[in-house]
Amino acid sequence: MDQLQAVYVRALQTIADAGGIEGDELRPIACPFDPAVPADRLGLAMIAAALHERQRRGYVVEWNAPQRGAFSAIAFPEGVRTSAAIASYGDQFPLLRIERAHADRDATITAYAERIAVHVSETARQPIAYVLTELVANIWDHAETETGIVLAGVGGGHFVLIVVDAGISIPFTYARRDIAFPDDTAAVRAALTGRSARPQGGRGYGIRTSAAIATRGWGGALLLASRHAMVLQTVDGETVRDTAPLHWNGTIVVIEAPLPLRAIDLYAYVEG
Amino acid sequence: MSKGDAICIRLGVRGSSLAARDSVREILRDAEGDAPILLDATGLTFISRTAAAELLDAVRRWRAAGRIVEWRYVGDDIAQMFRAVDPSVNIEG
């Protein structure tokens, strides 16, 4: 879990060193991360999202890495977008680029969840599908962006699941609805408790339930980061970090859990 | 409910899974009006909590407005998510 924090901050710094997402002094983004290391996949997902955001804004997509072969093996940074493309990557978990406008996006997400279940734990099929679909649904509901990045990984006895968007951040989403917090950390912690930015009832459960599954259920951790805040939640409590002046305009969710994933009853966690 | 006068909404029209709120809203686009509604879950094997909540909200609104809403071919996993979201939900018939 310390490794996840370190990767998160290193990725923010790497992107900042390259000039960020837009501006007159953009440089190729370096990729100091190893696809074979599960925690490093967080850095890769963030850099892929940053590159896609640069491209969306009309900039040239440039990146560099010592050896590119390992990166193309997981479809970095372009990402795969269909169920068929996922299946073509053998035993690998490729980087998934999901787009709001894609007609089969729900089926593609389900196919990715299915691949995870097959390779990680058949008994965890339902909760894996639940957390992945709920975290991605938050992108469409709140982030006001057209693209999301998903990347899973296993190694060293651990499983990671990463969902990244470069849309509007959690603190900004609340602020737009006149929900004020003293700082970004308070806003991110509110999201973890299930406080929705929407006025309707019955919302806000996605992250809270996913965190419960990751921590109480699987004995792992959930990292939630947005703008200047990063909160790492485990069954033992929270670690909070303000990363200012570094920031991520968007939201990042990472679930890390020890393997084998514990068999849990999903409906013991789903809230009414 | 006779087939002729009901609007049949196929929940599995976009595939075996239904995940996001906007996916549900798109599927329910043809449910405007006053006619009875038949929600057909043929082929649907997974629904997220988010999508289930959006769908059940729509069902509540329709029933509150006096519309007849019936379900067909709701699988066990789908029914279980519906009941997790709303234990009082009626998905019989």
pLDDT digits (tens, 9 = 90+) for B42-85: 999 999 998 999 999 999 999 999 999 999 999 999 999 999 99
Residue B26: its chain A contacts at CB < 8 A? none
Indicate the pLDDT class of residue A200, thresholds 50, 70 and 90.
low
Give dist(CA B43, CA B89) in Å, integer. Answer: 21
Indicate the pLDDT class of residue A265, thresholds 50, 70 and 90.
very high
Confidence at residue A204, expressed as pLDDT on a 0 to 100 scale: 65
Q: Could B14 and A107 be called an inter-chain contact, meaning their C-beta atoms sit closer than 8 Å? A: yes
Mean per-residue pLDDT over chain B, rounded = 90
Q: Could A107 and B17 be called an inter-chain contact, meaning their C-beta atoms sit closer than 8 Å? A: yes
Confidence at residue A103, expressed as pLDDT on a 0 to 100 scale: 83
Phi/psi for A35 (5° steps) reads -60, -20
A163 interfaces chain B, CB cutoff of 8 Å: no
Closest CA to A72 of A104, A38, A44, A109: A44
A30 has a pLDDT exceeding 90: yes
Confidence at residue A271, expressed as pLDDT on a 0 to 100 scale: 82
Indicate the pLDDT class of residue B15, thresholds 50, 70 and 90.
confident
Confidence at residue B1, expressed as pLDDT on a 0 to 100 scale: 57
Query: Is the Cβ–Cβ distance between B54 and A144 less than 8 Å?
Result: no
Give dist(CA A149, CA A254) in Å, integer. Answer: 12
Mean per-residue pLDDT over chain A, rounded = 92
Residue whose tokens read 């067909």 = B72
Give dist(CA A250, CA A135) in Å, integer. Answer: 13
Structure tokens at A97: 């680029």
Helices (H) and strands (E) in chain A, counts: 9, 9
B2 has a pLDDT exceeding 60: no
B16 has a pLDDT exceeding 90: no
Q: Could A107 and B80 be called an inter-chain contact, meaning their C-beta atoms sit closer than 8 Å? A: no
A59-85 confidence digits (pLDDT tens): 989 999 888 888 999 999 999 999 999
SS3 A92: coil
Sign of the CA dihedral B21, A219, A253, A52? negative
A90 has a pLDDT exceeding 90: no
A202 has a pLDDT exceeding 60: no
Q: State the DSSP string of A25-70.
A: T--PEE----TTSTTHHHHHHHHHHHHHHHHHTT----EE-S-SHH
Structure tokens at A241: 């970090």
- As a whole number, mean pLDDT of residues A156-180 equals 94
Interface size between A and B, measured as CB pairs under 8 A? 73
Closest CA to A76 of A123, A44, A108, A28: A44
SS3 A130: helix
Confidence at residue B5, expressed as pLDDT on a 0 to 100 scale: 83
Residue B81: its chain A contacts at CB < 8 A? 270
Confidence at residue A229, expressed as pLDDT on a 0 to 100 scale: 96
B18-53 confidence digits (pLDDT tens): 988 889 999 999 898 899 999 999 999 999 998 999
Whole-number percent of chain A with pLDDT over 70? 97
Confidence at residue B3, expressed as pLDDT on a 0 to 100 scale: 53
CA distances from residue A80 to A146, A175, B43 in whole angstroms, order as listed: 15, 34, 25
Structure-model confidence comparison of residues A194 and A49, the more confident one: A49
Give dist(CA B9, CA B1) in Å, integer. Answer: 14
SS (H, E, C) chain B: CCHHHCEEEECCCCCCEECCHHHHHHHHHHHCCCCCEEEECCCCCEECHHHHHHHHHHHHHHHHCCCCEEEECCCHHHHHHHHHHCCCCCCCC
Give dist(CA A71, CA A78) in Å, integer. Answer: 10
B93 has a pLDDT exceeding 70: no
Considering CB atoms only, which of B14, B86, B87 is closest to A106?
B14
Give dist(CA A105, CA A139) in Å, integer. Answer: 13
Give dist(CA A240, CA A229) in Å, integer. Answer: 8
Indicate the pLDDT class of residue A198, thresholds 50, 70 and 90.
low
Confidence at residue A199, expressed as pLDDT on a 0 to 100 scale: 60
Give dist(CA A97, CA A99) in Å, integer. Answer: 7
Q: Could A134 and B48 be called an inter-chain contact, meaning their C-beta atoms sit closer than 8 Å? A: yes
Residue A100: its chain B contacts at CB < 8 A? 22
Q: What angle do CA A196, A198, A202 make, to 5 degrees?
A: 65
B26 interfaces chain A, CB cutoff of 8 Å: no
The model carries a pTM of 0.93
Structure-model confidence comparison of residues B20 and A201, the more confident one: B20
Confidence at residue B14, expressed as pLDDT on a 0 to 100 scale: 84
- As a whole number, mean pLDDT of residues A7-29 equals 94
Confidence at residue A79, expressed as pLDDT on a 0 to 100 scale: 96
Write the CB contacts of A259 (distance below 8 Å, at least 6 apart in sequence): A120, A121, A154, A157, A158, A159
Structure-model confidence comparison of residues A265 and A206, the more confident one: A265
Confidence at residue A5, expressed as pLDDT on a 0 to 100 scale: 93
- As a whole number, mean pLDDT of residues A248-256 equals 97
